[in-house]
Amino acid sequence: MAHKKNRNVAIIGIGQTKHSSHREDVNQPEMIHEAVSAALKDANISIKDVDCIVHGNMELFEMIHQPDLWHVLGTGAYGKDSIRITTGGTVGTTLACASDNLVASGMYDIVMAIGFEKLQEGHTTGGITNMADPLWFRNLQTGALTGSTAYDVIQEFGEDRAKRAAMMYRIIMDKHACLNPNAHRAFGLDFDQVETLMNTSPKLVGELRLIHMCSQSDGACAVIFASEKKAKELSKKPVWIRDHITIHREETFNIFGYHKDYPVLKTHKFAAEQLFKRNDIKNPLEYFDVFEMYDPAAWWGLDWLRDFFFLKGDEHLRLVENKEIMIGGSMPINPSGGVIASNPIGATALLRVAEAALQVRGDAGAHQIPKEVKHALASGFGGTMWTVLMMLEKELSW
């Protein structure tokens, strides 16, 4: 069984910038141009071959209204069809889904998705806080900083085990980041620091500590999508888009009033259930070879493994404790270092798709996982616990 599709679509070009806290050497269009040039070079095509540009980020981070207008200087959209679609933190995966739709529809043969953010030019937490309803919740909002997941995991598995597992997750992500030359933060942490970091890293909210949290980065990512015919003509290693799903939920009423006896339906789990059901995947942990997850904090990354892979009991903790999520493990998570390492928000979720596609191609360099990657999964997270999932395949064989 497969989700119906008018025609097949593949990723044929991938480009990204170095991610850093201060790309002061470039302005926004210049930074985007780096990613666009890299993607075109990777696809071995010119901008003339691209039919449509899809652009996205969040306006209030840099306070540029409809920035695709100015960014035309770096995107290559001049004279082309160009669309701007945004969905908050999920925007990068939304750009990928939109590009897949635009090509699959037959309206365009080659589409380039561009996600970017230059967070040093704004105030990230201020920007995110501004998301909340001005009358009801804005005064209570703490941006993306929340300690509730840490609280839940600690309640369920005990303080020591939970804190160790979360820090283990964090250190594994840093080890991956150290292998990725584009990663923003790569500290060189080691497992003997688990206990020290658990106790000394400054607290942000509850047991969410500074070291657990993602960075705020400057960076851009561009990914080129092509129809089956074009992809086969142009690319030696096309990465096929099998399916994607977007699940949002209402903004407020579920967030508070949380009680363990009345578990709130979670979008990650719901999205994974729906997507895997319609693609006849019964055991996602077995099916996928690698997962690039939008993990904004170590506690979330740890907890969400359970939702995406339908794990029971403490299986997700054991995956981390046994280092199965490391490059070389049974289910490598974020060989790129993930979101905790690099987080230019509008690009972040597109980077998940890009990095997953690089793994499928075997082109990830030092952070390439050692086994063959036939099936890869990428996720986006944003809004008020929104989910986007995209499935990538090496062969057109589903």
Partner 1 sequence: MQKRIAICAVAQIKNDPNLWYARFQNMLLECFEGIMSQANVSFDMEKGIRTVITCSDDVWDARTISDNGMTDVVGAHFRGEEKMAQESLNGLGYAMASILSGHDDVVLYMGHMKESQPESRNMCTNLAFDPFYCRPLGMDFVNVNAMQARVYMEKSGVTEEHLAKIVVRSRQKAKENPFARENEPINEDDVMKSPLLADPLRQLHYYPTTDWAFGMLLCNEERVKEFTDKPVWITGYASCMDSYFLGDKDLTSNFSLKNATERALKKAGIKNVTKDIQLFELCDHAAYQLPMWAEGIGLAKEGKGGKWIDDGGMDEFNVNMSGGMLNGNPLLLGGAARAIECFYQLRGEAGKRQVKGAKRALAQSTYGAAGQHQAVVIFEV
329 binds partner 1 (CB under 8 A): no
Q: Which of residues 83-112 bind partner 1 (CB under 8 A)?
A: 83-88, 94, 97-98, 100-107
Interacting stretch for partner 1, rule CB under 8 A, among 12-20, 218-226, 263-271, 330-338? 263-271
195 binds partner 1 (CB under 8 A): no
- 263 CB contacts (<8 Å, ≥6 apart)? none
Are residues 89 and 386 in contact, defined by beta-carbon separation less than 8 angstroms?
A: yes
How far from 334 is each of 63, 69, 366, CA to CA, in Å? 30, 33, 13
Beta strands at 290-292 and 375-382: parallel, antiparallel or unpaired: parallel
How far from 2 is each of 174, 247, 279, 388, CA to CA, in Å? 36, 19, 5, 18
- From the list 32, 39, 53, 272, which residue makes contact with partner 1 (rule: CB under 8 A)? 53
- 312 CB contacts (<8 Å, ≥6 apart)? none
SS3 of residue 223 by DSSP: strand
Q: Name which of 94 and 334 has its Cβ closer to partner 1.
A: 94
Interacting stretch for partner 1, rule CB under 8 A, among 34-42, 51-59, 184-192, 255-263? 51-59
Interacting stretch for partner 1, rule CB under 8 A, among 40-48, 66-74, 302-310, 373-381? 66-74
Q: Name which of 104 and 194 has its Cβ closer to partner 1.
A: 104
Quote the CA–CA distance of 136 and 141 in Å, as a whole number: 10
Q: What CA dihedral angle connects 91, 93, 96 and 97, to 10 degrees?
A: -100
Q: Name which of 271 and 317 has its Cβ closer to partner 1.
A: 271
4 binds partner 1 (CB under 8 A): yes
In the complex, least distance from residue 36 CB atom to partner 1, rounded to whole angstroms? 14
Interacting stretch for partner 1, rule CB under 8 A, among 16-24, 63-71, 154-162, 221-229? 63-71
Q: Name which of 102 and 183 has its Cβ closer to partner 1.
A: 102
Q: Which of residues 208-227 bind partner 1 (CB under 8 A)?
A: none
Here the tokens at position 68 are 């695709």
Q: Name which of 192 and 250 has its Cβ closer to partner 1.
A: 250
Quote the CA–CA distance of 41 and 308 in Å, as a whole number: 34
Q: Name which of 253 and 258 has its Cβ closer to partner 1.
A: 253
Beta strands at 9-16 and 290-292: parallel, antiparallel or unpaired: unpaired
Q: What CA dihedral angle connects 288, 312, 251 and 173, to 10 degrees?
A: -50
SS3 of residue 326 by DSSP: coil
140 binds partner 1 (CB under 8 A): no
In the complex, least distance from residue 91 CB atom to partner 1, rounded to whole angstroms? 9
Q: Name which of 82 and 180 has its Cβ closer to partner 1.
A: 82
282 binds partner 1 (CB under 8 A): no
Here the tokens at position 122 are 């704004």
Q: Name which of 29 and 329 has its Cβ closer to partner 1.
A: 29
- From the list 18, 123, 237, 248, which residue makes contact with partner 1 (rule: CB under 8 A)? 248
80 binds partner 1 (CB under 8 A): yes
In the complex, least distance from residue 20 CB atom to partner 1, rounded to whole angstroms? 20
Q: Which of residues 378-397 bind partner 1 (CB under 8 A)?
A: 382-384
- From the list 45, 50, 58, 317, which residue makes contact with partner 1 (rule: CB under 8 A)? 58
In the complex, least distance from residue 114 CB atom to partner 1, rounded to whole angstroms? 12
59 binds partner 1 (CB under 8 A): yes
Q: By rule CB under 8 A, what string of x and - marks binding of each residue 16-35 to partner 1?
A: -----------x--------
Can you list the alpha helix ranges (DSSP code H) found in 91-158?
Answer: 91-104, 124-129, 148-157
Contacts by 277-282 with C-beta closer than 8 Å and gap 24+?
A: 278/1, 278/2, 278/3, 278/243, 279/1, 279/2, 279/3, 279/242, 279/243, 279/391, 279/398, 280/1, 280/2
- From the list 18, 30, 47, 73, which residue makes contact with partner 1 (rule: CB under 8 A)? 73
Q: Angle, nearest 10°, between helix axes 148-157 and 159-177?
A: 120
Residues of this chain that bind partner 1 (CB under 8 A): 3-6, 27, 53, 56, 58-61, 63-70, 72-73, 77-88, 94, 97-98, 100-107, 127-128, 130-131, 133-134, 244-251, 265, 267, 270, 274, 382-384
